[in-house]
Amino acid sequence: MTINSLIENLSVRSKISVARIITLIENNNSADLTELQNHIFRKTGNAYRIGITGPPGAGKSTITNQLTKIFRSQKKSVGIIAVDPTSPFTGGALLGDRIRMSEIGTDELVLIRSMASRGSLGGLSKKAAEAGDVLDAAGYDFVIFETVGVGQSELDIAKTADTTVVCLVPESGDSIQAMKAGLMEIADVFVLNKSDRPGADSAFTSLKSMTHLKFRDPSSWTPEIVKTTASMNIGITELVDVIQNHRDYLVSTDLLNKNRSKHFISRIEEIIISKFSQELWRKSTKEYLLANIYQVTEGKKSPYELADEIYRIFNS
Amino acid sequence: MTINSLIENLSVRSKISVARIITLIENNNSADLTELQNHIFRKTGNAYRIGITGPPGAGKSTITNQLTKIFRSQKKSVGIIAVDPTSPFTGGALLGDRIRMSEIGTDELVLIRSMASRGSLGGLSKKAAEAGDVLDAAGYDFVIFETVGVGQSELDIAKTADTTVVCLVPESGDSIQAMKAGLMEIADVFVLNKSDRPGADSAFTSLKSMTHLKFRDPSSWTPEIVKTTASMNIGITELVDVIQNHRDYLVSTDLLNKNRSKHFISRIEEIIISKFSQELWRKSTKEYLLANIYQVTEGKKSPYELADEIYRIFNS
């Protein structure tokens, strides 16, 4: 398929075209795709982006599935980017994906895409955002980014969504104490999943008191907490309502645009840095590095000194 | 304390000096510390670096503690860098740290240092390596990097050690299947912890067959597997032996130096990119960004186009 026909098919939300374009973006670090990406970008801005994150075992996939079913019952289309930090070598579909595919993936208006975080060399959040653009441009009403809430780049992805949902479970116990801190600043909505288990009430109370500490601007949104038992589809309608409340809040305060503008600034910075990284190792810098690395290994020069010299050669 | 007196105290392995220098490095992104870091670097190269990683709950901290006790019984000093992806706001000591401190942390020749991965803006592996340098320069015989095996930057830290130990547990079950793939390439040694639990034998067999697939160079080291029950101190002596075997292998094949040289190349690249990131937002580029970001938000220009323009202004 040519790039032109990919773009054409994208507009009719062809799953194959969407998948191929995302694969191109995942595998390609060069400038070849700039034109395609410029084109795709101009069609974005209509999808609502939801980030779903939390510790392993909190039920993120189940929640994503149930949310998707409700959105579908509202006649909305849903694209899902599932970022898995432990994907196999092949880079292909993940086990979890296959299980899910049988439940919601066969729906014409649901697309599930896995991205491996391994080997992404720090460009993970850039590529996930770009994959989100493809789904947005293809006309999906909702784009859900599902990532595990450990690891900097995984959190980065979730927090650049319009609404970030942090999933926790009652028995996280002490680990909630630790997780909360890292996750508190990025959560717009908390889901206390598996709320049928012992300790749910006290976990709810402790979470509630945390949300009032206001880690962000004092006038800002106070994260809402929803109790769910996702496996039994309990609490998911409430979750959809709370996400809608947050969306209304963002729209009415113009924060939707302000936040998106902030996220674009981060993305632009990431694009520039990635451009620089690609251009860094030209013939002159590479030769100098290889000719002088022994001085670092032998302790005659520090890595900072050699880095300085190479940076100067690059700029000269 | 002046920088000079910090350096002086470093050579007598003053815990306070080591801690202060690492804090300086953690908080400082500017070039102010280059002289200090150059100085520290010249004293490095003597410590043996061990990376310990694995999924949450695999017992990494317990294994690190027990290893440390054996190294201490051999009259070796141990510095530990514990990278926690979910550290609280304060950036201060972690809960786990405090528990550990009471067991091994009161030993004059053991230093435990936590680093938060949150908010490190991708510079995490750079800063962890630098903290390792400080411990190396201070004369610690072993430097242990303990990180959770989820998330790209966390894995990066573990894999730049001389010996990388990947901890798993029998009941990981299917998740082992997934984890193995991501962790297989970086493991020099596998620890199958909690080996008293059901399923340990079959997990061992499945792991064993994986290690023979040889993901790296065919002539390379085949990862060894050690069964442990770290909480009862079972298998730790064997683990120390296997680490020593791997060290002997690296020394006899000169891979110790070759690998360190490769790691230095990655570090130098990271230093250069971080230098570029710091210099990127000068007056001209910042003004241009803020004056034109609305075009991206309004879909008139793609982030790639604006990034290109800013990069050109930076280079002009």
Q: Give residue A308's pLDDT.
A: 95
Yes or no, beta carbons of A272 and B307 under 8 Å apart: yes
The better pLDDT of the pair B124, A95 is held by: B124
Q: Give residue A208's pLDDT.
A: 84
Is ipTM strictly over 0.95? Answer: no
Does A85 have pLDDT greater than 60?
Answer: no
Q: Give residue A117's pLDDT.
A: 60
Question: Region A204-221: what's the mean pLDDT?
Answer: 74
Using the structure block, give the residue that is written with the tokens 């014409």. Answer: A108
Query: Across B118-205, where does the E strand assignment appear?
Result: 142-147, 163-168, 189-192
Q: How does strand A110-116 pair with strand A48-53?
A: unpaired
In whole angstroms, give the CA distance from residue A312 to residue B8.
32
Question: Region B222-247: what's the mean pLDDT?
Answer: 95
In whole angstroms, give the CA distance from residue B22 to residue B130.
8
Structure tokens at B278: 């710091």
CA B18 to chain centre: 17
- Please report, for chain A, the start and end positions of each structural domain, with discontinuous segments joined by +: 45-271, 281-315
Does B87 have pLDDT greater than 50?
Answer: no
Does B118 have pLDDT greater than 80?
Answer: no
* Residue A184 vs residues A176, A180, A253, B33, B142: alpha-carbon distances, Å: 10, 5, 21, 32, 36
State the burial class of residue A209 (Cβ atoms within 10 Å of its Cβ: 0-12, 13-18, 19+): exposed
Q: How does strand A78-84 pair with strand A142-147?
A: parallel
In whole angstroms, give the CA distance from residue A160 to residue B132.
32
Choice among A2-11, B24-33, B199-208 with the minimum mean pLDDT: B24-33
Question: Region A235-262: what's the mean pLDDT?
Answer: 96
Please report residues of A whose CB lies closer than 8 A to that of B148.
150-151
pLDDT digits (tens, 9 = 90+) for B209-218: 777 765 556 6
Nearest to B151 among A89, A153, A179 (CB): A153
Using the Cβ of A264 and the Cβ atoms of chain B, whether some distance falls under 8 Å is answered with yes
In whole angstroms, give the CA distance from residue A112 to residue A105.
6
Which of the four pLDDT bands, split at 50, 70 and 90, describes residue A49?
Answer: very high
CATH class of A45-271: alpha beta
In DSSP terms, A157 is beta-bridged to none
Please report residues of B whose CB lies closer than 8 A to that of A122.
122, 152-153
Q: Give residue B295's pLDDT.
A: 94
Collapsing DSSP states into helix, strand and coil, what is residue A283?
helix
In whole angstroms, give the CA distance from residue B71 to residue B141.
9
Say which CATH topology domain B41-267 has. Answer: Rossmann fold (3.40.50)
Does A90 have pLDDT greater than 50?
Answer: no
Collapsing DSSP states into helix, strand and coil, what is residue B159?
helix
Candidates B77, B74, B83; CA nearest to B161 is: B83
- Surface of B (155-214) touching A: CB under 8 A: 155, 174-175, 177-179, 181-183
Share of chain A above pLDDT 70, in %: 83
pLDDT digits (tens, 9 = 90+) for B99-113: 565 678 788 899 988
Structure tokens at A160: 């650049």
Structure tokens at B252: 């006899």
Collapsing DSSP states into helix, strand and coil, what is residue B247?
helix
Q: Give residue A107's pLDDT.
A: 87
State the burial class of residue A219 (Cβ atoms within 10 Å of its Cβ: 0-12, 13-18, 19+): exposed
Q: Give residue A87's pLDDT.
A: 39
How distant is the Cα of A35 from the closest Cα of chain B, in angstroms? 9
Q: Give residue A189's pLDDT.
A: 94
Does A124 have pLDDT greater than 60?
Answer: yes
pLDDT digits (tens, 9 = 90+) for B129-182: 999 999 999 999 999 999 876 666 667 787 789 999 998 888 765 445 545 556
- What global pTM score does this model have? 0.80
Choice among A118-132, A200-214, B141-155, B171-185 with the minimum mean pLDDT: B171-185
